[in-house]
Amino acid sequence: MSSSKSAIRVDIQLLRAAAVLSVVAFHFWPNRVVSGFAGVDVFFVISGFLITALIVREVESTGKLSLVNFWMRRIRRILPASIVVIAATAGVVMWIGSSELLESIGRHVFASAFSGENILLALDQADYFRSAEAPSPLQHFWSLAVEEQFYFVWPVVVLLVVAVTRTFSQTVRALNTVIVSIVIASAAFAVFLTAVNEPSGYYNSLARAWELGLGAFVAILGARGTPRLSAGVATVINRVAWVLLLATFAIPNLESGVPSWGVAPAVILTAVVIATGNRRPATATNVVARTVRGVGQWVGDRSFSLYLWHWPILILAPYVLKVELTAIHKILAIALAFVLSEVSYRFIETPVRISRRPMMRNPLIVAPLAGLTSAALVASVSFAAVALTPPPVVPFNPGTASSTDSSFFDEERVMRKGLDVTGVSRYCDGAGAWLFDCDTENDRPRSGAVNSQGEKCDRIEPCENGNSTSPITVAFVGDSHARELRTAMDLVGKLLDWRIVSFTMSTCPLGSLTAKPDCHVRDAQLMKRVRAGEFDLVITSQLRSPSPTEEEYVSVFNQILETGTPLATFRDNPVLDDETIGCKRVNFSDPNMCEFTPSAAFRIDDPAANVATKLGIHIIDMSTVFCHDDVCPLAIGGLRVYRDKDHVNREFNETMAPLIAADLAGARLIRTE
């Protein structure tokens, strides 16, 4: 989203304005400007074009390319404003003091400051369109990271081409071949990621390279002296492309095709607009045209800063104001973003970029200063975040009961408020607080109770928990909801003297035919071991969602049952609705200001539980823990229940371990003869 001063064209500034305004509109009103996210793709094409044109001009005039000078220009252009936004965002997060923001701010500051935000989001399996977790106020730096990675790699490729060619024309022809190859390979990879429904593909630099490459291709065409269209034809094509490009931002359902066909209209049309654009367009003849052009150029000049500022303002404003944003709030937030953009452009971006001071152009000063500034920012934020984050909750201790304790197998079951609590001693942490009539004042979360993610076991190869020496082996399989339960199942394994083998992977419910390839590999490994008779019981847990379908669950559940292996499945926990999510965000210190109802909590069907009921499969149902007396609290027994929209906090999950153990023991699913 940056450029060289020498490469500025009025039409490109107008493209920048359209791109940034579409992105801002999409982020503030995602249900109105439904495909405004494609503005980022417009920026990618512009950057590919401008940077390649800049590089080619340098090679043409000097016969070589100075990597050091190129990278120093990029640092001066990008880093000052970026560091200010990162520092300001981190400072506001510290002031707000929300645990869910403090938990991750250090990681995102590091990734954003060192051009790796897209990599971090991909590793976190973040879904840009359907993320259940609260988004980072620095998440938008992912696109800047993609461009910065391009700025690092592409000049090196050009330098290698220059080294093996003798004349400028040979260099241009070779670059054209390289670019076409990159575009084809990258586009094919993008199509693959789209086909396998890989959420992290949205942030993948290799899958985005074709967009930057197409812009580079347009620049190379100009360098080769390709015959231009007549002025009249070029003008008609240009105007039609402009209209279609603006219309693209309103096309629904394009998000399902990112990063391939869903962004192709914006990418191709942007390339056409640039290729047919006039470097010196005719003077506007009426007031409206002059006004549009003048405003567009002004916004285009400040598009980089506007992009940087708008997202943290949008994410942090509800925390600061302690209300969900209304239309008026959003308009004022956008106005603030424009004000900060003007300040940033006038007093940070421009002075540093055009400075003629020797120290600002000396790579021996600029590079170390940039590195030290970024490192100091990361260290300061990380230290402050650790200092401000409340201490962790004291680990829950469920006691020492095990399957050898006869109380787990009493014929006369002990029911308490709809749940079997045979053999469970009274406790008042988390899930036990309501069941055992504890002091309701504990419902307010203790200061140390933060939103905590379960221990990672997010891979094809399983993890082992429980009692590793037990002769009873239980397979525990599912998606991120199973992963969040893994530490609870570890306690269950220890209570029941079971060895737990966990096959948990994000976005990988058991039996889904449309899941990503790794899910199928995981499922195949599990089924191979089930058919070999390795497990005494299989337990599943998965997000309540239309996918997989009931038919898919029938198929995979029957495959397990046909082996003679007992099967049980969790009824999934509640899913917060949008109103409750917003309330939770602005009432982070007292989430029980946001109680919601069972009808809202269980509004989404649970196909796995439905199929289990039809097939007579045991259901581990903790619904009574989450919702009671027609209320579903967000904090119970001094612990926050939900980490995000649909994941339960690790600490709260662990307090359900005695109840899960009692349920499984009472079900007598495992033959012990």
- The model's confidence at residue 455, banded by pLDDT at 50, 70 and 90, is low
Top pLDDT among 525 and 585 is at: 525
Q: Say if residue 559 is exposed, middle or buried (CB neighbours under 10 Å; 0-12, 13-18, 19+).
A: middle
- pLDDT value, residue 357: 81
- The model's confidence at residue 406, banded by pLDDT at 50, 70 and 90, is very low
Rounded percentage of the chain residues whose pLDDT exceeds 70? 91
Gyration radius of the chain over CA positions: 28
- pLDDT value, residue 401: 40
DSSP letter, residue 422: T
* Per-residue H/E/C for 312-366: HHHHHHHHHHCCCCCHHHHHHHHHHHHHHHHHHHHHHHHHHHHCCCHHHHCHHHH
| 43, pLDDT greater than 80 | yes
Structure tokens at 295: 């405003």
Contact, 277 vs 7, CB < 8 A? no
- pLDDT value, residue 200: 82
Q: Say if residue 416 is exposed, middle or buried (CB neighbours under 10 Å; 0-12, 13-18, 19+).
A: middle
- DSSP labels, 539-602: EEE---SSSS-HHHHHHHHHHHHTTT--EEEEPPPP---HHHHHHHHHTTT-GGGG-B-HHHHT
Contact, 34 vs 251, CB < 8 A? yes
Contact, 594 vs 584, CB < 8 A? yes
Contact, 609 vs 401, CB < 8 A? no
- pLDDT value, residue 409: 44
Candidates 10, 103, 2, 99; CA nearest to 47 is 2
- pLDDT value, residue 562: 97
Structure tokens at 359: 């120290």
- pLDDT value, residue 404: 39
Q: What one-letter code names the amino acid at 332?
A: L
- pLDDT value, residue 535: 97
| Domains of the chain, residue spans | 5-278+287-387, 424-450+573-604+622-646, 454-571+606-620
- The model's confidence at residue 412, banded by pLDDT at 50, 70 and 90, is low
pLDDT (average), residues 182-203: 91
pLDDT digits (tens, 9 = 90+) for 83-123: 999 999 999 999 988 877 887 899 999 999 999 999 999 88
pLDDT digits (tens, 9 = 90+) for 63-88: 999 999 999 999 999 999 999 999 99
Reported as type and span, the H/E element at residue 474 is strand 473-478
- pLDDT value, residue 599: 93
Other CB atoms closer than 10 Å to residue 188's CB: what's the count? 12
Instruction: Cite the beta strand spans of 379-498 per DSSP E.
Output: 415-416, 419-420, 463-466, 473-478
Residue 538 bridge partners (DSSP): 475, 567
pLDDT digits (tens, 9 = 90+) for 359-398: 777 887 888 888 889 889 988 998 888 788 777 667 787 8
- The model's confidence at residue 176, banded by pLDDT at 50, 70 and 90, is very high
Cis peptide before 252 (omega within 30 of 0): no
Residue range 454-571+606-620 forms a domain whose CATH class is alpha beta
Contact, 479 vs 519, CB < 8 A? no
| 402, pLDDT greater than 70 | no
- The model's confidence at residue 131, banded by pLDDT at 50, 70 and 90, is low
- pLDDT value, residue 442: 54
Contact, 439 vs 428, CB < 8 A? yes
| Total count of residues recorded for the chain | 673
- Phi/psi of residue 464, each to 5°? -115, 140
Handedness of CA 178, 179, 185, 186 (dihedral sign): positive
Mean pLDDT (the chain) is 88
DSSP letter, residue 429: S
pLDDT (average), residues 199-216: 94
- Phi/psi of residue 466, each to 5°? 75, -145
